[in-house]
Amino acid sequence: MNYSLKVDDTEIKTGTFTSSVVVTEAEIVAKSSGQGQKSFVLEVTDVAGNTGISSAVIVTVDLTAPTGSVTVPTYSTSTTFNATIAGSDTGGATLS
């Protein structure tokens, strides 16, 4: 059987189907429109020409690293002090 893996209707990988299809992040990014939500569909064709198409699977590709910071006093004579940590991600997750 032959297969065609499509992301957002763009064919990114083809070959002979055995039991699974492996695709790397680099293949997805190189042949699709970067990051964001992607719709994956697998199309398989047997030797008789019959074609089956999978249901779409939605995956979010996030290539932007989260940010973080730590703030501490520059000088303190006390044995205790407060430190502030903060972080954020464009995907909506936050830490504070």
pLDDT digits 0-9 by tens, 41-75: 999 999 999 999 999 988 887 778 888 999 988 87
37 or 95, which is more confident? Answer: 37
pLDDT digits 0-9 by tens, 3-20: 999 988 889 889 998 778
Distance CA 82, CA 65 (A): 27
Task: Enter the tokens of residue 35.
Answer: 């990051």
Enumerate helices (H) and strands (E) in the chain, giving the number of each: 1, 8
| 21 pLDDT higher than 50 | yes
| 91 pLDDT higher than 70 | no
- Residue 12's φ and ψ, nearest 5 degrees, are -115, -15
